[in-house]
């Protein structure tokens, strides 16, 4: 899945049906910020087998990047 609609449109092949931001909006949700993701991980061990999209700063998006977070090896990675 792509981060946002811009990322989705830029895919030449194997384009996903939707983006993380569009899917969240369709459910009436927002992606967590990096800080919120780290706070959530203080409450328990989440994203140990998968990753979750996290709000990406504008400068990262200009470079075509998105952010995701997960927990591996006892640490939280963004």
Residue by residue, DSSP assigns the chain as -BSSHHHHHH--SS--SSBHHHHHHHTT--PBPHHHHHHHHHHS---SSS-EEEPPPHHHHHTT--EEEEEETTEEE-
Give the range of the structural domain holding residue 63, as residue numbers without chain letter: 5-77
19 beta partners: 2
Q: What is the mean pLDDT of residues 26-47?
A: 94
**Confidence check: pLDDT of 30 > 90:** yes
Q: What is the mean pLDDT of residues 7-17?
A: 89
Least trusted range by pLDDT, from 19-28, 32-41, 56-65: 56-65
**Based on the structure, what is the number of domains in the chain?**
1
The encoded tokens of residue 60 equal 């990262």
């Amino acid at each position: 899945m792509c981060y946002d609609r811009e990322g989705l449109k830029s895919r030449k092949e194997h384009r996903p049906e939707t983006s993380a931001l569009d899917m969240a909006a369709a459910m009436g949700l927002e992606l967590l910020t990096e800080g919120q993701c780290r706070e959530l991980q203080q409450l328990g061990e989440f994203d140990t087998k998968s990753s979750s999209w996290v709000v990406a700063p504008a400068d990262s998006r200009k470079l075509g990047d998105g952010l995701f977070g997960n927990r591996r090896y006892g640490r939280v990675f963004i």
